[in-house]
Chains A and B, each alone.
Chain A
Amino acid sequence: MKKILFPFLILFGAGALAAAQTNAPVAKTNSPPTQITSDTADFDLSAHQAVYRGHVKVVNAEVKLTCAWMLVDLPSAGGHLSNIVAETNVVIDMTDAKGQTYHVTSAKAVYAYKTEGVVTNETVTFTGKPRVETATSTIDSEPMIWDRTRNKFTFIGPNMISRESPGAGATNASPLKLF
């Protein structure tokens, strides 16, 4: 399960991860650039922030994200993306290395990257009725928190509907054992 949201990190961590000193087993690579399109945008060059509004769409090699509003703290040259907030009808579609597709929806998603000394905290927090849908299951949790540094995915009050056994009917069960 912890793979489920990994591409989402790629999306939210584009650039933020360039020089990260985390414990996560990750590797840098040169991928096609991430594209963000929107109807309008405001850039505060003093605060180093960008706010995208209207039909916001983020696309890279692995992930597509759409939402109505998105704030990005712009990194300095060679720096990290430290904060991204996507709000209103957040929809993420992604495919992992094995071809498994994931469809994530929530009202809000927040990527946060912070380094204190040698400790790096890197999380994506989904709130507002978050839901992850795969070919075999649907998981609801409020909130969903993905700790990127520890590769740990946390559900609060989760509810999972499994579709792994067609004809057996949907079941509700705690997905915690899977994570």
Chain B
Amino acid sequence: MKSVPAHLCLALGAGGILLAAVTARPQTQPLGHATDFTSESYFEAPHERQIKMRLSGAEALPLPGGLLDVRQLRVETFGEDGKPEMVVRAPQCTYAPLDGVANSAGRMEMQSGDGKFRVEGEGFLWRQGASSLTISNRVRTTIDLPVLNATAS
């Protein structure tokens, strides 16, 4: 489990039967869907017990081409010390399990583990392997941290 990429875990978590059906007959109507799924990937040794990323969703509907229509996507990343780093949420996205890529034209939001760094926007591309997120429209970042008063003379 520790070395299994998260997207493969998701594929398993979303239901082997579902994925098998999609893979075997990519041009046909999918047979089923998964609900409340979660997948996790882990750091390499010596932190192999620590979760690096957790991807979850409320529902995954199969789409042609081996894609998944994921509802209530939630991606959590963690540091090697186990502390949460970032949480990405989107009400809907299209996910390619084998490529580890998710995208959507809809809204998304992201925030740091302590909640003091928040981002929202419209339209995104999440590359799981590179842990990169591109937001394509109306990006708004809020940094809620203490600043300094001008007391210098």
Q: Which residues of A contact B (CB under 8 A)?
A: 2-3, 6-7, 9-10, 13-15, 17-18, 24-31, 33-46, 50, 52, 60, 62, 74-78, 96-97, 151
In the assembled complex, the Cα of A151 lies from the Cα of B86 at a distance in Å of 35
Contact A45 B140 (CB under 8 A): no
Instruction: Write the B117-143 contact mask toward A (1 if CB under 8 angstroms, else 0).
Output: 101010000000011111111111111
Q: Select the residue from B119, B135, B141, B144 with max chain A CB neighbours within 10 A.
A: B141
If A39-B139, A45-B132 touch, whether A27 touches B147 (CB-CB below 8 Å) is no
Q: Is B59 on the interface with A (CB-CB < 8 A)?
A: no
With A25-B151, A26-B151, A34-B144 known, 4 other A-B pairs at CB within 8 A are A17-B147, A41-B141, A43-B119, A77-B112
Dominant secondary structure at the A interface: loop
What secondary structure prevails in chain B residues at the interface with A?
Answer: strand
Complex formed: what's the CA distance from A36 to B139 in Å? 8
Q: Is there an interface contact between B139 and A31, defined as CB atoms closer than 8 Å?
A: no
Report chain A residues within 8 Å CB of B114: 77-78
- Chain B residues near A (Cβ < 8 Å): 77, 79, 83, 85-86, 110, 112-114, 116-117, 119, 121, 130-153
Q: Closest Cβ of chain B: how far from A11's Cβ, in Å?
A: 8
Assembly CA distance A169 to B114 (angstroms): 55
Complex CA distance for A34 and B140, rounded to whole angstroms:
10
Query: Please, which residue of chain B has its CB at the minimum distance from the CB of A45?
Result: B131
Please measure, in the bound complex, the distance between the C-alpha atom of A149 and the C-alpha atom of B27, giving whole angstroms.
Answer: 64
Are A34 and B135 closer than 8 Å at their CB atoms?
no
Q: Which residue of B lies closest to A51 (CB)?
A: B134
B147 to A40, Cβ gap below 8 A? Answer: no
Nearest CB of A to B143, in Å: 4
Interface centre among B132, B133, B147, by most A CB within 10 Å?
A: B147
Given the interface pairs A24-B152, A26-B149, the reply to whether A35 lies near B142 with Cβ below 8 Å is yes
Residue contacts A-B, CB under 8 angstroms, 11 given: A13-B147, A18-B146, A34-B142, A35-B141, A37-B139, A39-B139, A43-B132, A45-B131, A46-B132, A52-B141, A77-B113
The closest CB in chain A to the CB of B121 belongs to A41
